[in-house]
Amino acid sequence: MSNEPRPRQAVVTGSSSGIGLAIAQALLDGGWHVAGLDVAPPTLDRPGFTPLAVDLADGPALERAAAGLQGVDALVHAAGVLRVGPLGRLDAAAGALMWQLHVDAATRLANALVPAMADRGQGRVVFIGSRVAQGLPGRGQYAATKAALVALARSWAVEVAPRGVTVNVVSPGATATAMLQDPARAASAPRLPPIGRLVEPAEIAALVAYLLSPPAAAITGQELRICGGASLAQ
């Protein structure tokens, strides 16, 4: 029988592109095994990576996928979409989609995976939020879903802290991903933060990887912004 330690197992949503892809790559580089949940075809083909095709906005389908995941040490919910609109032109369907993808998916995944982490006495959960959760004109529905992630993380962090599980939110500012070119946000262009450039997905991934590491065991229930100084004026 091998005495090799079991590879750490992470579930990463939105692993086919953008921030989720960068997080999956960083964890694989760090020796993790990663199950990538995404409705889009996988863009990674590496040892230790297992793609799982699932529509994260389809609650029952997501619960079926989560039921098949065993021995999970970390959950990173990075999948997301942005739909914008001012009062008077709000799209109820867009708001429902963002709630399902950002909040309901996080709830179903945490409900399925975190209790087993707590039973084992260790685990990590990171939700990808947004600096916009503080409020921004034209993005009220999006901001509401990201603010909800902070409330969930703080609530659950208190529940599971005594059992070795941490729950945190990483909230990026404008990030260099394909989301910036989404036609759905054409009327709401991103502003460069004070550092003079967009945040890179790899920078977010590095912070997430740290939060999943043993030295981060005392960090829980926190929202950590990585926004290039864009929050400093608030």
Whole-Å CA distances, 35 to 23, 111, 119? 12, 17, 21
Asked whether 90 and 141 are in contact (CB, 8 A), the reply is yes
Residue closest to 173 by CA, chosen among 26, 13, 14, 19: 19
> How confident is residue 175, by pLDDT bands cut at 50, 70 and 90?
confident
Domain ranges of the chain: 9-226
CA distance 152 to 114: 13
Say if residue 85's pLDDT is above 50.
yes
Comparing 232 with 168, which gets the higher pLDDT?
Answer: 168
Give the pLDDT of residue 182: 56
Question: What pLDDT shows up at residue 1?
Answer: 47
Over the range 130-143, which residues count as b (16 or more CB within 10 Å of their CB) and which as e? bbbbeeeebbbbbb
Torsion from C-alpha of 54, 69, 118, 217, nearest 10 degrees: -70
Q: Average pLDDT, stretch 173-192?
A: 65
For the stretch 194-216, pLDDT in tens is 878 888 999 999 999 999 999 99
Can 210 be counted among the known catalytic residues? no
**What is residue 228's predicted lDDT score, i.e. its pLDDT?**
75
Q: Which of 32, 49, 127, 142 is catalytic?
A: 142
Q: What is the average per-residue pLDDT within 29-45?
A: 97
Q: What 8-state DSSP symbol labels residue 175? A: B
List the one residue out of 98, 106, 103, 79 whose CA is nearest residue 24: 79
- Model confidence at 233, in pLDDT bands (50, 70, 90)? low
Distance (Å, whole) CA 105 – CA 13 = 10
Q: Is the full-model pTM beyond 0.85?
A: yes
Reply yes or no on domain 9-226 having CATH 3.40.50.720. yes
Q: Compute the average pLDDT of residues 186-190.
A: 57
Mean pLDDT of the chain: 92
Percent of the chain with pLDDT over 70: 92
